[in-house]
Structure 1
């Protein structure tokens, strides 16, 4: 089968600058030293996802899950290594990411869908379905800065799944939605699976991984502990939680 996502030896470094005020003595002592510390959020991450596969990303808080998805989505560039994605990718990552708060929900649909490659005519054709899926008919002409976190998630997911991406990337923002909307999202994800699309998502729910994932990647401190079938990866994840 063809590879949909190829993550090859990816590492990501952030520079943490020293922001606190320093005395003259401290500045003299630190003269010639870097004004920052290097923090490596990812270390040599390597795995492949084949077309039509659903992959879960598991790990404790701070393990690098969200940074990895941002590298895969092209929001961040790896410091080392490379990421290859075959086909169109749609991502639902940080809450409100990609939305312009001063614009209405209507305008944000057109803006986000156009950034994902849809023409205005295509958005016109899908607009009602996007709004209905998001359950925002009464609020679609309000500025999104007045939306609740749940409304943000509903709108973001509705746009992402209605641009018909080849690869769908979802961070754990779905946990913000209510149970009914989560069930709705899972039903749409299963439709994507039936259509042979590729899905990567971060979750803290081992049960969700067990239900819908073919395999899972377990991260710890920015490194891959295992890439394995869902059941085996969940077992490794549970071992990690008790260490």
Structure 2
């Protein structure tokens, strides 16, 4: 049974070289957590007392300001981070998509990068070879796929990465948005592919600042604030409390 269970989970980062209070403040501002004071070594409490239970079919948006702990929570769910305290149990094949450039080599061709990126996401070489033609058609990169990745613009790299990401078959999809470099027409095309991907996945957790994307892909939300869960519930309700207005009603009115 596909599941994610976090019970009182915390993630701490010790800062061994922080010798001044000003440095502590600088680190705190980036991390979004708080600094523990009970140790000689400053500790950034990136996540505190996180309790979440997700099951197959859950489509969860992560919202909150930059540094609130969204990306750290995704990494905890993926197994990249182990909880410092509390418990974390994840059952199912996880596809963590945090950085669309991870797993790509700038010195080899786009076609070769399709295979490498797929392997990085847990697919087999045979599975990726069977998807190459579909990915190539989606990216619309044509002969550029035979050229080294270092010759690509940022938008072209995003197209290639999205083509691979939306071709996989995960049981748990953890998605940290990073697709703002493509044009609006291709973004609409990518949204359709992401919807199909969500339908194939068992659990989706999606961190994004795009309310429209969240409305398309999610039905519940977790509001992160300074490393803790401030609210977890229906997407419309959580977004209304977070933004101070009925965001979904505004989106629906424009469609």
Q: Same-fold call, TM > 0.5? A: yes
1:93 to 86, 92, 98: 98
1:78 to 78, 83, 89: 83
Aligned to 2:180: 175
Aligned to 2:253: none
Q: Distance in 2 between matches of 1:7 and 1:204?
A: 24
1:48 correspondence with 2:53? yes
| Number of equivalenced pairs | 227
Q: 1:8 to 1:100 in 2, by over 3 A?
A: farther
1:18 correspondence with 2:17? yes
Aligned to 1:139: 144
* Alpha-carbon RMSD: 2.5
Aligned to 2:120: 115
Matches of residues 1-243 of structure 1 in structure 2 within 5 Å?
3-18=2-17, 34=40, 36-195=41-200, 197-239=202-244
CA contact (8 A) 1:92 1:156 kept: no
- Secondary structure at 1:156 match in 2: helix
CA contact (8 A) 2:2 2:92 kept: no
Report how far residue 131 of structure 1 moved.
2.1
Deviates further, 51-60 or 122-131: 122-131
Report how far residue 7 of structure 1 moved.
2.6
Report how far residue 59 of structure 1 moved.
0.2
Report how far residue 3 of structure 1 moved.
5.0
Report how far residue 56 of structure 1 moved.
0.4
- Secondary structure at 1:117 match in 2: coil
Q: Distance in 2 between matches of 1:92 and 1:71?
A: 13
**Post-superposition CA distance 1:101-136 (Å, at most 9, x none):** 333222222122123333222221111112222233
Q: Distance in 1 between matches of 2:127 and 2:53?
A: 32
Q: 1:39 to 1:50 in 2, by over 3 A?
A: same
CA contact (8 A) 1:218 1:226 kept: yes
CA contact (8 A) 1:52 1:193 kept: no
**Post-superposition CA distance 1:28-64 (Å, at most 9, x none):** xxxxx95x52111111211122212211000001101
CA contact (8 A) 2:135 2:164 kept: yes
CA contact (8 A) 1:6 1:49 kept: yes
Structure 1: runs of 5+ lacking an equivalent: 22-32
CA contact (8 A) 1:153 1:176 kept: yes
TM-score (structure 1 length as normaliser):
0.81
Structure 2: runs of 5+ lacking an equivalent: 21-38, 246-255
